[in-house]
Structure 1
Amino acid sequence: MRRERGRKRKRVCSFCVDKIDHVDFRNADKLRRYISDRGKILPRRITGNCARHQRQLTLAIKRSRFLALMPYSTE
């Protein structure tokens, strides 16, 4: 009995699709989509972002946390 593995479709970067060249740290609602329920930043293989936007996203989340726009943990 062999299991057939379906091919997963490659996710596309949502920032590239929307033609956003800079990720803004003040947009906390959009940034919350990229944080796990434990408060960790989701990796690129899960979010589907390109490397450039993932780096910008990480910096934006860290800046937003530092300025208390977002919590460090979700408890």
Structure 2
Amino acid sequence: MIPLTRLNGQRLLLNLLLIEKVEALPDTTITLVSGKKLVVADDMEQVGQAINNRMAEIGLVGSYKRED
């Protein structure tokens, strides 16, 4: 689980294994494998870093790199 903040300030924990993709549209939008979309206040780099950190903690390899 990674901690995130909705646009209204509400905090939530998201299971990172359910994340399909993260986009900046311009707000950070997370698409889950179910097709559901979450818009969060955290920027895309923060979300990517949180995913990498959690993956490292559970023994998976994070591979997020910012593409300009």
If the length of structure 1 is used for normalisation, what is the TM-score? 0.37
Bigger relative CO (Cα 8 Å, ≥ 6 apart): 1
TM-score (norm: length of structure 2): 0.40
Larger gyration radius, structure 1 or structure 2: 1
Greater helix fraction, Structure 1 or Structure 2: 1
